[in-house]
């Protein structure tokens, strides 16, 4: 049966997609240490066939191609794929839902940087990914650990929370979204129910340079981060107060090399058989 991810298709083709495309260079620089951890774990061999799931603006697809992979990137976001296609003609970028995609040939590696936490039915989607792999193929992806382990997002999030309306009922932390795969037991169950073997979780942490100073860090976080709701939902004094609180919360993290805050991801790997 075809999986319906229409809500995510709408989300990533609206403001989120065009914002990510506009900020591509800055986001890729920010995320580079985390990307590198995933790419190292992928241990690509020359000529391997690769699918990059939720490839967005194509940074990891291009990196895998440069390392010798024959790469296809798949994503549901038109604006992000437009940016990806402008960056490389060596990678084939496919506009499709990875949960329902059927490739012409199987892959040796399915890779993702933060692109697999948005499926409405993760077990169904990962079963489909499993079916796309060669018998000795493998899966490697990078996903976020919980917000508590990611002060680069949670410091600002906590600072602005008192100014924002409370969302009721509270969302399920496993709902599609950046932190949906924070719990390794949950991900282990999804992957084993989808047919994957030798499932491993490696914790990787790094300090991210979120901006040159608190103002610059905040500029990014009001576009694609925890303070984006402030811009969308608050006005005038309320907005000013929330932004001041966020700026004050970021200021102590200023170092000689800009505002540095810790991030933590899981590098997840598994084999098809």
Which residue ranges make up the site for ligand SAM (CB under 6 A)? 5, 8, 12, 54-57, 59, 74-77, 80, 97-99, 113-115, 118-119
Nearer to ligand SAM, 242 or 269 (CB): 269
**Spatial CA neighbour of 40 closest among 91, 108, 111:** 111
- Least distance to ligand SAM, CB of residue 149, Å: 17
**Spatial CA neighbour of 197 closest among 109, 123, 271:** 271
Nearer to ligand SAM, 202 or 244 (CB): 202
- Least distance to ligand SAM, CB of residue 13, Å: 8
| Beta carbons within 8 Å of 103's beta carbon, 6+ residues apart | 51, 72, 132
Q: How far apart are the first and last CA of the chain?
A: 24
SS3 label, residue 265: strand
- Least distance to ligand SAM, CB of residue 208, Å: 13
**Spatial CA neighbour of 115 closest among 59, 193, 67:** 59
Q: Are 150 and 264 within 8 A, CB to CB?
A: yes
- Least distance to ligand SAM, CB of residue 52, Å: 7
- Least distance to ligand SAM, CB of residue 193, Å: 18
| Beta carbons within 8 Å of 145's beta carbon, 6+ residues apart | 182, 203, 264, 265, 266
Nearer to ligand SAM, 20 or 163 (CB): 20
Nearer to ligand SAM, 127 or 254 (CB): 127
Nearer to ligand SAM, 56 or 137 (CB): 56
């Amino acid at each position: 049966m075809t999986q319906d991810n229409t809500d995510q298709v709408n989300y990533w083709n609206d403001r989120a997609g065009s914002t990510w495309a506009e900020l591509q260079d800055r986001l890729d620089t920010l995320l580079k240490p985390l990307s590198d951890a995933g790419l190292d774990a992928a241990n690509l061999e020359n000529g391997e066939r690769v699918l990059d799931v939720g490839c967005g603006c194509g940074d990891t697809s291009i990196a895998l191609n440069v390392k010798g992979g024959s790469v296809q990137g798949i994503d549901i976001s038109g604006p992000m794929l437009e940016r990806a296609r402008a960056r490389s003609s060596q990678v084939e970028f496919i506009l499709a839902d990875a949960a329902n995609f059927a490739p012409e040939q199987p892959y040796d590696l399915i890779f993702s940087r933060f692109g697999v936490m948005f499926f409405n039915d993760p077990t169904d989607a990962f079963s489909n990914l499993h079916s796309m792999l060669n018998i000795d193929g493998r899966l490697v992806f990078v996903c976020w650990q919980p917000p508590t382990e990611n002060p680069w997002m949670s410091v600002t999030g906590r600072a602005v929370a008192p100014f924002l309306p409370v969302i009721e009922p509270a969302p399920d932390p496993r709902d599609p979204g950046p932190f949906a795969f924070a719990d390794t037991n949950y991900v282990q169950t999804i992957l084993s129910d989808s047919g994957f073997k030798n499932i491993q979780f490696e914790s990787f942490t790094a300090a991210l340079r979120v901006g040159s100073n608190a103002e610059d860090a905040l500029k990014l976080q009001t576009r694609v981060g925890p303070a984006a709701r402030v811009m969308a939902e608050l006005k005038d004094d309320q907005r000013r107060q929330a932004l001041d609180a966020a700026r004050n919360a970021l200021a102590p993290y200023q170092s000689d090399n800009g505002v540095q805050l810790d991030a933590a991801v899981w590098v997840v790997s598994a084999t098809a058989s």
